Chain A
Amino acid sequence: MSDEWIIIILMVFMAISGVAIARLHNLFAVVMLTGIFSLLGAAAYVVLDAVDVAFTEAAVGAGISTVLMLGTLALTTSEEKPTPPRHMLAALAVVGITGAVLLYGTLDMPHYGDPNAPVHHHVAPRYLEESEKEIGLPNVVTSVLASYRGYDTLGETFVIFTAAAGVLAILGRVRRPKRRNERGQTTEETLK
């Protein structure tokens, strides 16, 4: 029972860092807080028994994502302009309406940790029981990922390949960026 409260405390910390990310204007601090957010999420996944997911989230979210964002900050600015207030009110209204609709939707959901929830009835018991005989590996997540749902993992590998190919296509050509003066004009535009 105490791990329920650990999860709630972790999620409250995540909410606090989320609000801090929204309020800060220094982008370096924002990126660091995103790393912290991902790490807190990874800790929550561990307490929720999702150890593979926690491993991946810690490595990918708090590792690679943070480094790539820092690389982008090195190539662009590191301060953000403050938003004018009228944007904030409209955004808060939209967010409030969406949140209210989602909260209304959660009223139908099964309670947290309920073993009789519909999600535990169809395919999952079959995987848990039959994977010992059919595949014989202790880690059910690996056997589902690589064998029962191997086709989806093939698609996912193609997605990573496409992402690397896309980044090479977008940034790969080592053309020097045009130098701009204070008004954002390139040298060609000032000569016109």
Chain B
Amino acid sequence: MDVSFSYDFPGLLNYWIIVVLMMIGFYIVIAHGNLVKKIVGLNVFQVSVFLLYITLGKIKGGTAPILADGIEAYSNPLPHVLILTAIVVGVATTALGLALVVRIQDAFGTIEEDEIDAIENDA
């Protein structure tokens, strides 16, 4: 593998695989009726979006952004800070979503979306 091949062809391949991952997560959210599975799909979508941001911040030949002697190129620390915040906000959203799912189970007896619609339209 010579240098020009490794710089041109896999240049955008990472982003394409990440888009595929995002679409898998998106499909899980919209195509399944079970509420827990929707939250799982949301988590899958979140991890792949974070992967996109971190991939944007990577510099070839760089290292982790921890200052040390003898290293010239550091990867960009700004996406890391943003994604740290985003991961924690994501787990907060997941916890609240799961608490709501438990309450929906108590109120309706089921967590399938179409059964909840049927109970709501009957009552």
Contact = CB atoms under 8 A, between A and B. Distances in A.
Chains A, B in direct contact (C-beta < 8 Å)? yes
Interface of A: 1, 4, 7-8, 11-12, 14-15, 18-19, 21-22, 27, 30-31, 34, 37-38, 41, 44-45, 48-53, 56-57, 60-61, 64-65, 68-69, 71-73, 75-77, 80-81, 83, 87-88, 91-92, 94-96, 98-99, 102-103, 106-107, 109, 111-115, 117, 119-120, 123-124, 127-128, 131-132, 138-141, 144-145, 149, 152-153, 156, 159-160, 162-164, 166-167, 170-171, 177-178, 180, 184
B: contact size bracket: 35 or more
B10 A4 contact: yes
A21 to B, nearest CB: 6
A117 B56 CA distance: 9
A44 B51 contact: yes
A18 B44 contact: yes
Given A11-B21, A140-B67, A177-B106, A38 B85 contact: no
The interface residues of chain B, by DSSP majority, are classed as helix
A74 to B, nearest CB: 10
Interface of B: 1, 6-8, 10-28, 30-34, 36-37, 39-41, 43-44, 47-48, 50-51, 54-68, 73-81, 83-85, 87-96, 98-103, 105-106, 108-112, 115, 119
B23 A50 contact: no
B89 A65 contact: no
A37 to B, nearest CB: 6
13 contacts: A14-B21, A34-B40, A57-B87, A60-B91, A71-B98, A72-B102, A77-B111, A92-B31, A131-B67, A141-B65, A153-B85, A184-B108, A184-B115
Contacts of B17: 8, 11-12, 15
Contacts of B44: 18, 21, 34, 37
Nearest to A155: B85
Contacts of A76: 36, 101-102, 105, 111
B68 to A, nearest CB: 7
A49 B92 CA distance: 25
A141 B57 CA distance: 13
A150 B79 CA distance: 15
A175 to B, nearest CB: 8
